[in-house]
C-alpha cells in the first residue's frame, strides 16, 4: 500500500466539506455514510490469469464476517506504465468508474479537473455501487439489459443534478432558468462554448479548455433534465430524460 493513494483520496474527499450547501443534500450525505464503513483504498493489481483489474486484499482490521469491502482505487497517470492492461484502464478512466464484478471504484486522481468535481464523480459512482449491492449484483459478470443500465444512469444523473442545484445555490438556479428560457424561445438555439461556466458555482473554475467543454455538456444535460421535469407530464418527462441521457452517450463512461 502506498501512502500516496490514501492521501490523494482524502484530499479529494475533503473538498466536499467546502461545498456550500452540501449538508442540505441528504442523499449525498447518505452516500458518504455508505462509503466510509466499507471503503478500503487499494493498489492496482492485474489478475495474471483473467487479466481482470483486481485489487490487493487489504481489509480493515477487525472487520466482521460477511463484510463486503468497497474497493477504492485512486488511479495515477503513471499506473499506465505498470502493464498494458493498466495502460488501457488509465486511458478509459476519464474521471471515475465502478465495476460490480470487483465492487471497485476507480478514481482518476490525475484527471484535469478540480478536486471538488472529482469528489462529486466519486459520489456518482457510489450510487452505482450502492445499487449493485442492493440488487445482489456484486461479483456478477453477466451482461445487463441496456434499458436497465440506461434507467440506472438516469437515476445517477438526476442525483448529480440535484447535488449541483443544492451546492450551486440561487446563482446556479438563475443561470439554469436563463438557459432553459433561451432554449425554449429559440428552437434552433446553439449553445456557445462556455455555456457550462455556471457549474463553477458548484465545482469551482477549471482552466483546461477540454474540461470546460465537458462541463458545457454536463450543464446542458442538467438543463434538459430540469426542463423536462418542469414542462412535461411525469411519464413523458421520464421518457424525455432517458432520451437525453442516451443521446449524451454517458453509458460509455459509466
Which listed range, 24-32, 73-81, 150-158, 182-190, lies at the site for Zn ion (CB under 5 A)? 150-158
* Complex with Zn ion: residue 116 or 254, whichever CB lies closer: 254
Question: Whole-angstrom Cα distance, residue 5 to residue 7?
Answer: 5
CB 108 within 8 A of CB 93: yes
The DSSP letter of residue 136 is T
Residue 16 interacting with Zn ion (CB under 5 A): no
Which listed range, 60-68, 110-118, 139-147, 152-160, lies at the site for Zn ion (CB under 5 A)? 152-160
Which grid cell sits at 197?
Answer: 461556466
Strands (E), the chain: 39-41, 44-46, 53-55, 70-75, 96-99, 104-108
* Complex with Zn ion: residue 71 or 128, whichever CB lies closer: 128
Q: What is the pattern of x (binds Zn ion, CB under 5 A) and - over residues 35-64? A: ------------------------------
Q: Which of 90, 156, 164, 172 binds Zn ion (CB under 5 A)?
A: 156
Q: Minimal distance in Å, beta carbon 60 to Zn ion? A: 27
Q: Minimal distance in Å, beta carbon 83 to Zn ion? A: 27
Q: What is the pattern of x (binds Zn ion, CB under 5 A) and - over residues 108-147? A: ----------------------------------------
Q: What phi and psi values does residue 84 have, to the nearest 5 degrees?
A: -60, -35
* Complex with Zn ion: residue 175 or 225, whichever CB lies closer: 225
Which grid cell sits at 176?
Answer: 439554469
- State which H helix or E strand residue 34 sits in: helix 26-38
Q: Minimal distance in Å, beta carbon 169 to Zn ion? A: 25
Question: Whole-angstrom Cα distance, residue 209 to residue 133?
Answer: 37
Question: Whole-angstrom Cα distance, residue 72 to residue 7?
Answer: 13
Q: Minimal distance in Å, beta carbon 153 to Zn ion? A: 5
- State which H helix or E strand residue 244 sits in: helix 234-248
* Complex with Zn ion: residue 96 or 172, whichever CB lies closer: 96
Which listed range, 45-53, 151-159, 215-223, 225-233, lies at the site for Zn ion (CB under 5 A)? 151-159
Nearest Cα residue to 61 out of 69, 50, 53: 69
Q: Minimal distance in Å, beta carbon 142 to Zn ion? A: 19
For Zn ion, the binding residues (CB under 5 A) are 156, 254
Amino acid at each position: 500500500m502506498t501512502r500516496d493513494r490514501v492521501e490523494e483520496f482524502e484530499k479529494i474527499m475533503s473538498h466536499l466539506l467546502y461545498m456550500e450547501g452540501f449538508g442540505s443534500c441528504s442523499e449525498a450525505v447518505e452516500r458518504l455514510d455508505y462509503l466510509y464503513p466499507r471503503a478500503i483504498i487499494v493498489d492496482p493489481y492485474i489478475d495474471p490469469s483473467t487479466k481482470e483489474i483486481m485489487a490487493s486484499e487489504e481489509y480493515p482490521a477487525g472487520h466482521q464476517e460477511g463484510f463486503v469491502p468497497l474497493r477504492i482505487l485512486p488511479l495515477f497517470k503513471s499506473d499506465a506504465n505498470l502493464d498494458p492492461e493498466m495502460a488501457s484502464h488509465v486511458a478509459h478512466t476519464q474521471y471515475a468508474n465502478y465495476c460490480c464484478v470487483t465492487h471497485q471504484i476507480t478514481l482518476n486522481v490525475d484527471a484535469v479537473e478540480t478536486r471538488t468535481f472529482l469528489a462529486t464523480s466519486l459520489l456518482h459512482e457510489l450510487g452505482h455501487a450502492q445499487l449493485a449491492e442492493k440488487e445482489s449484483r456484486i461479483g456478477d459478470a453477466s451482461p445487463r439489459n441496456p434499458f436497465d443500465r440506461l434507467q440506472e444512469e438516469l437515476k445517477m444523473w438526476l442525483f448529480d443534478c440535484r447535488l449541483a442545484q443544492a451546492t450551486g445555490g440561487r446563482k446556479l438556479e438563475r443561470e439554469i432558468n436563463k438557459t432553459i428560457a433561451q432554449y425554449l424561445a429559440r428552437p434552433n438555439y446553439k449553445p456557445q462554448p462556455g455555456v457550462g461556466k455556471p457549474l463553477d458555482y458548484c465545482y469551482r473554475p477549471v482552466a483546461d479548455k477540454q474540461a470546460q467543454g465537458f462541463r458545457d455538456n454536463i450543464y446542458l444535460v442538467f438543463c434538459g433534465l430540469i426542463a423536462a421535469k418542469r414542462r412535461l407530464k411525469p411519464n413523458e418527462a421520464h421518457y424525455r430524460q432517458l432520451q437525453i441521457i442516451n443521446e449524451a452517450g454517458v453509458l460509455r463512461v459509466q
